[in-house]
Amino acid sequence: MADLLVTGGAGFIGANFVHYWHAAHPSSRIVVLDALTYAGNRANLAALDADPRFTFVHGDIGTEGLAADLLRRHALDTVVHFAAESHVDRSILGPDAFLQTNIMGTHELLKAARQVWLEEQRVPRDRARFHHVSTDEVYGSLSFDDPPFVETTPYAPNSPYSASKAASDHLVRAYHHTYGLPVTTTNCSNNYGPWHFPEKLIPLLIVNVLLGRAIPVYGDGRNVRDWLYVEDHARAIDAVLARGRVGEVYNVGGRAEAANIDIVRTVCALVDDRLRADAALAGRFPASPASAGAASTTLITYVADRPGHDRRYAIAPDKLTAETGWTPRETLSTGLARTVDWFLANEPWWRGVMDGSYRAWIDAQYGATGAAR
């Protein structure tokens, strides 16, 4: 069984993946390396602290020698690389951190894997795997009548975020081609689900509806994203590690295209239903329109468009399905309902993230380094 270095495991998708993997592969060891940026939340992994198979390391993927040391010290044969700066709007305001982490950080990890696995030969080549988690945004933007992205779609990244991810994809490919590093890459569509940081559309929307705050819809609201429930992404990475071919790229998506305004209306309706059906819930969120008998869609506020806003993403996961048998379990409507219910059940989590108080909790729990042991 694989023993994993998971980078970015305290973030949204990384934390979901770690919990999924821990349950699905009981004998596997997991070392999480995470810098705990604003998007990394140590509390997301607290449930695993008592398990000796789990280790948390507070550190930057770009620190020279750190990842190599972890691969050696813990005898790890697999890297699952999530760590990144991931928010397009932040990349427009300040691209530097994106280039540093997403490009230089990825390169540091590739160097570490090459050094420990290929040069020092600490792991047989057929057991080692560097799995790179990337995005469909590297392919650029589609028109409404274009076919979905496939693995051979030419790269055309449009934001500093997607450009930095594209660069990291190319480095991963080059380390396979040049040095023979056993790599796989997945390019996934937009995820949503538990532990999603409320700066991205779906969690921001849920939280704003509950708090009775304006829902900012960029431009005309007709931009289309292809949504995937995060646990289905975790299962796809598992499928690629188990049955994917080394050196290959796999697109991951839920065949769940939706215009932003339709996502907004669906989530508003879900929250309204929950609050109308449960007086106690309505009492917890008195500022939410549903608590006063109104519709949450009254909060919709059209705002200035994002510069360079990609019009449409859509992804064809046919290769992944054909080669590994993976298919998503959640539809957009079941996944959104699960997500709304998770946010209703985990109010302290999102309140802590929004007011920053979770950082004090981390310090009290783990000390300033965030390291559990």
Q: Which of ligand TYD, ligand NAD, none has residue 208 at its interface (CB below 5 to 8 Å by kind)?
A: none
Say whether 60 is catalytic.
no
Closest residue to ligand NAD: CB criterion: 11
Angle, CA 200 vertex, CA 353 and CA 81 arms, to 5°: 85
The answer to whether 267 touches 208, Cβ cutoff 8 Å, is no
Among 77, 85, 137, 238, the one annotated catalytic: 137
Q: Which of ligand TYD, ligand NAD, none has residue 201 at its interface (CB below 5 to 8 Å by kind)?
A: ligand TYD
Say whether 310 is catalytic.
no
**Which residues ranging from 54 to 93 are in contact with ligand NAD (CB under 6 A)?**
60-62, 82-86
| Whole-angstrom Cα Rg for the chain | 20
**Which residues ranging from 61 to 120 are in contact with ligand TYD (CB under 6 A)?**
88
The DSSP annotation for 125-175 comes to TTT-EEEEEEEGGGG----TTSPPB-TTSPP---SHHHHHHHHHHHHHHHH
Q: Which of ligand TYD, ligand NAD, none has residue 37 at its interface (CB below 5 to 8 Å by kind)?
A: ligand NAD
Amino acid identity of 370? G
Encoding tokens for residue 184? 């796989």
Fill in the per-residue mask, 168 to 207: x = in contact with ligand NAD (CB under 6 A), - = not in contact.
--------------------x-xx-----x----------
CA distance 18 to 35: 16
Fill in the per-residue mask, 100 to 139: x = in contact with ligand NAD (CB under 6 A), - = not in contact.
-x---x---------------------------x-x----
CA torsion sign for 243, 247, 253, 255 is negative
Fill in the per-residue mask, 211 to 230: x = in contact with ligand TYD (CB under 6 A), - = not in contact.
-----xxx----x-x-----
**Catalytic residues, which ones?**
136-137, 161
